Structure 1
Amino acid sequence: MTISAPVTRMKSGERRELILEAATEVFAETGYVGTTTADIARAAGVSQPYVVRLFGTKEQLFLDVIQRALDVLLAAFRGALDDATSDVPLGKRMALAYVNQLNQHGLLLSLMHAFVLGRDPVIGAAARAGFMKVYRFLRDDAGFDPLEVQNFLASGMLVNTMIGIDMVEDYDGDPDVRELMECAFPEKLDMVRALASQREQEQR
């Protein structure tokens, strides 16, 4: 995947965001270890030295991808929390806000890659801090009790896992997969399947 843009005409902040978007996609696809700054530069349509000049190291770029993903996710949760006009229960609004992040392919999966690097002294520490930031938001801002937060996070991890292993590929052929996905995505299944189909077409 390559994000095409007239990089030389963009402001520094816009260039940085462009690279972060591309890095989110690439890290989601190939993981931290399997990704190079050259891969990300190619996806962003910039030179590898330019990526290094902006971010310094692959590690720092990955940390910035994690922070960006957390910022986007928490902003979505905040939007759901502040929607005082909705008659949808808060827990359901928050869940829908989470699933809606699948529209930004790679965002949730890049966080998953960070979580599995828990023993890394730098990335693991950032992943734990980010996870607990989400926990505290759900508990303190959204008002969930600890058990409600646990159930919410567990459902989110199930969503991530199904997306990560491309479970949707077996939706039509396996009734048990269909049952599980219909349970996990009661309102958003059509969106999830459409995004998977779009992704498949882009990779051809």
Structure 2
Amino acid sequence: MARMSAEERRESVIRAAMHEFARGGYHGTSTESIAKRVGVSQPYLFRLFPNKQAIFLAASERCLRDTRELFAGAVEGLHGEEAQQAIANAYTRLITEDPDKLQMQLQMYVAVAAAEAAGDREFGKVVRAGWMELWDTAHLPLGGDPRETTTFMAYGMLINVLAAMGFPFDHRVWEGFYPEARTTGRLEM
């Protein structure tokens, strides 16, 4: 079996970190658990990343990039209502099929809020920049209207909260988003 390059190992660490941070958050996840998941030593982990914060930010960037690429792929050639439905459906599939992506997003927001409360504005810089790229990816296909984009993203954040709280998709709380979900059991617009 061929040895992994440092870049391949780095990718393995980012994937493992996304899973571990999604489950335990920034403060509740040890670098030891990440190293163990990848099958490397902690000293090797710190040859790839200078510290835990760098690992968390790399996992955050990856999570936001994956979501942004999902949005971009979903809206290719679409605009307005069609783009909105395509993004909503693609995102709904993502958070139902890969719950780590949703949990990682929520953990990012918690970690940034905690850092901000402690006076650290630098920690959130990467997450804010990635979120703005996500916003921009949706903005033009949705019509370039800031109010439309705000409403769309606000609904997305509410969907994150409801899904994270574990409301089953046939629960009445989803009815305003997806009236058909109660009868089909699927969240598709």
TM-score by length of 2: 0.79
1:54 to partner: Cα distance: 0.7
Q: Does 1:98 align with 2:83?
A: no
Contact 1:115/1:128 (8 A) holds in 2: no
Contact 2:74/2:90 (8 A) holds in 1: yes
Contact 2:26/2:56 (8 A) holds in 1: yes
What CA distance in whole angstroms lies between the structure 1 residues aligned with 2:56 and 2:19?
Answer: 11
Aligned with residue 42 of structure 1, among 36, 46, 49? 36
Give runs of aligned pairs for residues 4-23 of structure 1, distance below 5 A: 9-23=3-17
Q: Give the equivalent residue in structure 1 for 2:131.
A: 131
Q: Does 1:32 align with 2:34?
A: no
Q: Does 1:62 align with 2:63?
A: no
TM-score by length of 1: 0.74
* Structure 2 alignment gaps of length 5 or more: none
What CA distance in whole angstroms lies between the structure 1 residues aligned with 2:99 and 2:44?
Answer: 24
Contact 1:37/1:52 (8 A) holds in 2: no
Q: Does 1:179 align with 2:179?
A: no
**Partner deviation per Cα, 1:175-201 (whole Å, 9 max, x = no partner):** xx711135445569548xxxxxxxxxx
Q: Does 1:89 align with 2:82?
A: yes
By relative contact order (CA 8 Å, sep 6+), the higher-ranking structure is 2
**Partner deviation per Cα, 1:99-149 (whole Å, 9 max, x = no partner):** 222233312321222223231422222222222222222223543411211
1:67 to partner: Cα distance: 0.9
Whichever residue aligns with residue 11 of structure 2, its letter is E
What CA distance in whole angstroms lies between the structure 2 residues aligned with 1:144 and 1:77?
Answer: 15
What CA distance in whole angstroms lies between the structure 1 residues aligned with 2:150 and 2:142?
Answer: 13
Q: Give the equivalent residue in structure 2 for 1:150.
A: 150
What CA distance in whole angstroms lies between the structure 1 residues aligned with 2:8 and 2:99?
Answer: 19
* Structure 1 alignment gaps of length 5 or more: 1-5, 172-176, 192-204
What CA distance in whole angstroms lies between the structure 1 residues aligned with 2:13 and 2:77?
Answer: 32
Aligned with residue 80 of structure 1, among 49, 66, 74? 74
